[in-house]
Amino acid sequence: MIEFAGLGSVFPSFWSSGFLLWLLCTLCILLFFLWFRCRNRFYKGELRGSLKDLYAVFNSLPIMVLVCDIERKISFMNRTLPQYTPESVVGHNIFEFVNPDDLTRMQAAIDKSFQTGEVTNYEAGGPSELGITWFAVQVQPIFRHRKVTHLAIYLTDITDRKKVEMALQESQSRYEDVVSSLPGVVYQFLRTSDGRYHMPYVSPRVWDFFQVKADEATSDVSNLFKLVHSDDKQTLDRSIEESAAQFSIWKHEFRIQLSDGKIKWIRGTSSPRHIKNGDILWSGVLLDVTAEKVAEAERKNLELQLQHSQKMEALGTLAAGISHDFNNILQIISTSIELAEKSHPFDATEKAFLKKALTASDRGRNLIRQILAFCRNEEEKKEVFDLSLLATDFFEMIKATLPSGLSLSYKIEPGINFWGSGSQIHQILINLTINALHAVRGRVGEVHVFVGRFKPTPNEAKTLQLDWPQPYIEISVKDSGIGIEPGLLSRIFDPFFTTKQQGGGTGLGLSVVHGIVRSHNGEITVTSEQNKGSLFRVFLPHEENRQHSSFLPEKIITEPTRSHRILLIEDEKDLLELEKAMLRNFNFDVIDCSSGEEALELLWREEFDLVLSDNSLPGITGLELMKKIRLYSKTLPFLIATGQSDNEIQKEAHVLGMDEIEILPKPFSLADLRKKMGRLLETSF
């Protein structure tokens, strides 16, 4: 026990009784309460000041802060938005103030944060006095005793940012609309400093051009480059490198081949600019110019056709101009030889020479006829004839004349009644067969010919450019000869073009065949391999149900049994004498003159059984003379001897109103003259 001796001696009674001790304790307690109260008042003032400062901070924040409890009632809100006050909001359900369009998302975010304790973020927009106001919303859980009791909701005004984003989206949408409406592919092409290629951007229309999606092109540019036509890859790469080296605008045209085999022409244009590390970026457009290229090719083809037509027209004019004189010369040669043979007993050697001269004259006549037929593009009379018989007779004849070492085989389907020009089809057989025989000359070789029906499949019709399901007649000639150089295949049907040595051909054979095939609405193809041979295939449209009419030569009329009076009109003196001799060879009584006017005077005074007249007379032509004679004599036989083509004479006659005329083409032989005049005189009896 502690004793305070001093106090006990002063206040012995109080101390001993314990009163003083009680008083001291009471005083201490009062002092403690007084100290605690003063301290409490001090801290409350500090707390009120701190809360006031805290509220000021919350109210000065640029974001809106809400606190809601687990019942979704607002327990706190700062004064960021002037249209809402804490007094009007606190105690209300938070969903009362949420835009209906965002209500579902707000409920989901609050429910998720209460249930999982996770922070939730989303964006919301709603109407305000100034229009649409956008907020970035963050829901932050508040924990007490490890349990979510409240949520702090922060709303940041992002209206300005959203306006910029929407303006950017609208601009992007307009850009995409413009790009999608462009007729080409907008792109950016990157070449790195080490020479690698990339495509940072390409518009969606790349699919229409390349059948490659935009993301496939940007992820791997080789998806586009592998479609470039093999013949254009080097030039495309070179154009890119030149643009990079010269830093110039890139312009180039190239072809692409799609997976289905379709070929497209692409035209590219772009401007380069330097970017970091020495890389070059081109921005530009690719255009599909396939239609333009096709039109350009067609235009060039039309120009070539026009040039060819003009060339043929000029050649035809020239040929027509010389044909009359040339045929007259041939007429003099051939007639002189024939008359000489009849009037003089030549020995075998002399007859052989004369025969060669006649053969040369016939070749000259056929050459002139081919030139005229080709240049004038004239059609001959078409009728139904037995093609099988015509082809068989031809090959039987030619097979007997083949030299040793050459083998000619042929397969001809029987009973082919074909509508066309028999003489022209005969010409096709002659030209193609002789062409094939020449190709194997000088070597052991063979020629095989097929003539028969051909019904193409759809694929064959497409490949051969034939109509489907149109039936055709095929004439094919295959040889094992020297073949044709690939570079010459496109020219072999050109007139006067020949692969033979000088003097080996006229260059008209295949061009004549081509013209005949076209006049029959057919097609001709050729395939060839050097030192292995060639194959020519002719396809002519065929109709089985055409009525048959034989293709036979005219009946030869025997010499007249009595003398007839013939009026001969010819302005060339040499021809006049020779033709007069030919007629007298048939025992005709011949009266001659050199002009149409003289002939009219003779016809007024005398009677004749037949008139034989040249067409190219001074003054009036032979056709004009015939028209005048027809005014008073409808039955007098009139024969036009001319070096012009039959079609040309027929056209002139049609203009004069005469559709039925008899023509004797120059140069003609004694047999030709006898046959034609014999038929006319027989019908006039």
User: pLDDT confidence of 234, banded at 50, 70, 90?
Assistant: very high
The string of pLDDT tens digits covering residues 432-460 is 888 788 777 666 678 888 998 888 888 88
For residue 498, is it within any domain?
Answer: yes
Q: For the ranges 25-39, 80-94, 151-165, 530-544, which has the lowest average pLDDT?
A: 25-39
User: Considering only CA atoms, which of 528, 519, 422, 539 is closest in space to residue 474?
Assistant: 539
Domain check: are 272 and 191 in the same one?
Answer: yes
pLDDT score of 303 more than 60 = yes
pLDDT score of 470 more than 70 = yes
Q: For tokens 């203009």, what's the residue? A: 655
How far is Cα 20 from Cα 41, in angstroms, rounded to an integer?
31
User: What is the CA 607 to chain-centroid distance, rounded?
Assistant: 70
How far is Cα 678 from Cα 672, in angstroms, rounded to an integer?
10
User: pLDDT confidence of 507, banded at 50, 70, 90?
Assistant: very low
For residue 555, is it within any domain?
Answer: no
What was the pLDDT predicted at 669?
Answer: 84
User: pLDDT confidence of 403, banded at 50, 70, 90?
Assistant: low
For residue 452, how many other CB atoms are within 10 A of its CB?
17
Domain check: are 412 and 533 in the same one?
Answer: yes
What was the pLDDT predicted at 253?
Answer: 93
The string of pLDDT tens digits covering residues 546-568 is 554 444 344 444 444 457 899 99
Looking at per-residue pLDDT, the higher value among 556 and 212 belongs to: 212
User: E strands along 455-578, which residues?
Assistant: 472-479, 523-529, 533-541, 565-569
How far is Cα 206 from Cα 188, in angstroms, rounded to an integer?
12
User: pLDDT confidence of 370, banded at 50, 70, 90?
Assistant: low
User: pLDDT confidence of 10, banded at 50, 70, 90?
Assistant: very low
Contacts of 508-511 with C-beta under 8 Å, sequence gap 24+, read: 508/367, 508/370, 508/371, 508/374, 509/431, 509/434, 509/435, 510/431, 510/435, 511/374
Contacts of 468 (CB under 8 A, 6+ apart): 456, 457, 458, 461, 462
Looking at per-residue pLDDT, the higher value among 395 and 45 belongs to: 395
pLDDT score of 512 more than 90 = no
User: pLDDT confidence of 371, banded at 50, 70, 90?
Assistant: low
DSSP 73: B
Domain check: are 154 and 192 in the same one?
Answer: no
User: Considering only CA atoms, which of 354, 426, 330, 422 is closest in space to residue 669?
Assistant: 330
367 vs 220, 498, 555, CA distance in Å?
65, 15, 26
What was the pLDDT predicted at 83?
Answer: 67
Domain check: are 510 and 591 in the same one?
Answer: no
Please state the domain count of the chain. 6
Domain check: are 55 and 75 in the same one?
Answer: no
Q: In the beta sheet, which residues pair with residue 128? A: 131
How far is Cα 12 from Cα 17, in angstroms, rounded to an integer?
8
Q: In the beta sheet, which residues pair with residue 138? A: 121, 154
Looking at per-residue pLDDT, the higher value among 328 and 69 belongs to: 69
User: pLDDT confidence of 643, banded at 50, 70, 90?
Assistant: confident
Taking the CA atoms of the chain, what radius of gyration do you get in angstroms? Answer: 56
Amino acid at position 179, single letter:
V
What was the pLDDT predicted at 612?
Answer: 92
What was the pLDDT predicted at 630?
Answer: 84
Q: For the ranges 12-26, 323-337, 634-648, which has the lowest average pLDDT?
A: 12-26
CATH number of the domain encompassing residue 494: 3.30.565.10
User: Domain range holding 34?
Assistant: 18-60
Strand order in the sheet with 610-614: 589-593, 565-569, 610-614, 638-642, 662-665
pLDDT score of 542 more than 70 = yes
CATH number of the domain encompassing residue 125: 3.30.450.20
Looking at per-residue pLDDT, the higher value among 496 and 202 belongs to: 202
Looking at per-residue pLDDT, the higher value among 642 and 401 belongs to: 642
With a pLDDT cut of 90, the percent of the chain lying above it is 9
Domain check: are 187 and 261 in the same one?
Answer: yes
Q: What are phi and psi of 4, to 5 degrees?
A: -105, 90
SS3 readout for 193-242: CCCCEEEEEECCCHHHHHCCCHHHHHHCCHHHHCCECCCCHHHHHHHHHH
User: Considering only CA atoms, which of 86, 75, 77, 81 is closest in space to residue 58?
Assistant: 77
Among residues 541, 574, 600, the one where a domain terminates is: 541
Contact by Cβ (8 Å): 593, 608:
no
How far is Cα 381 from Cα 374, in angstroms, rounded to an integer?
15
Question: Which pair of structure tokens corresponds to residue 296?
Answer: 């350009």
User: pLDDT confidence of 255, banded at 50, 70, 90?
Assistant: very high
What was the pLDDT predicted at 375?
Answer: 60
Q: For the ranges 65-74, 108-117, 179-188, 459-468, which has the lowest average pLDDT?
A: 179-188
User: What is the CA 508 to chain-centroid distance, rounded?
Assistant: 32
Strand 565-569 and strand 610-614: the pairing is: parallel
Strand order in the sheet with 197-202: 197-202, 184-191, 280-288, 263-274, 250-257
Looking at per-residue pLDDT, the higher value among 311 and 118 belongs to: 118
What was the pLDDT predicted at 50?
Answer: 57
**What's the average model confidence in pLDDT over 164-168?**
83
What was the pLDDT predicted at 265?
Answer: 92
What was the pLDDT predicted at 39?
Answer: 61
User: pLDDT confidence of 236, banded at 50, 70, 90?
Assistant: very high
pTM of the predicted model, to two decimals?
0.46
What was the pLDDT predicted at 249?
Answer: 93
pLDDT score of 312 more than 70 = no
Element (H, E) at 272: strand 263-274
User: Considering only CA atoms, which of 191, 180, 182 is closest in space to residue 282?
Assistant: 191
For residue 436, is it within any domain?
Answer: yes
How far is Cα 164 from Cα 99, in angstroms, rounded to an integer?
22
Question: Sign of the CA dihedral 411, 415, 420, 423?
Answer: positive
For residue 629, how many other CB atoms are within 10 A of its CB?
20
Domain check: are 186 and 246 in the same one?
Answer: yes
Q: For the ranges 126-140, 162-176, 232-246, 662-676, which has the lowest average pLDDT?
A: 126-140
Q: For the ranges 67-81, 299-313, 538-552, which has the lowest average pLDDT?
A: 538-552
pLDDT score of 58 more than 70 = no
Domain check: are 420 and 521 in the same one?
Answer: yes
User: pLDDT confidence of 504, banded at 50, 70, 90?
Assistant: very low
pLDDT score of 419 more than 50 = yes
For residue 2, is it within any domain?
Answer: no
Domain check: are 383 and 307 in the same one?
Answer: no
Strand order in the sheet with 147-157: 74-77, 63-69, 147-157, 131-144, 120-128
Domain check: are 458 and 536 in the same one?
Answer: yes
Domain check: are 332 and 389 in the same one?
Answer: no
User: Considering only CA atoms, which of 132, 106, 134, 131 is closest in space to residue 120?
Assistant: 106
Looking at per-residue pLDDT, the higher value among 637 and 557 belongs to: 637
Question: Which pair of structure tokens corresponds to residue 385?
Answer: 């004839």
For residue 243, is it within any domain?
Answer: yes
CA dihedral 221, 226, 229, 231 (to 10 degrees): 100
Q: What are phi and psi of 446, to 5 degrees?
A: -140, 155
Among residues 164, 195, 223, the one where a domain terminates is: 164
Domain check: are 491 and 581 in the same one?
Answer: no
Q: What are phi and psi of 352, to 5 degrees?
A: -65, -40
For residue 551, is it within any domain?
Answer: no
Among residues 236, 266, 288, the one where a domain terminates is: 288
For residue 559, is it within any domain?
Answer: no
Looking at per-residue pLDDT, the higher value among 600 and 485 belongs to: 600
End-to-end Cα separation, the chain, in angstroms:
191
For residue 117, is it within any domain?
Answer: yes
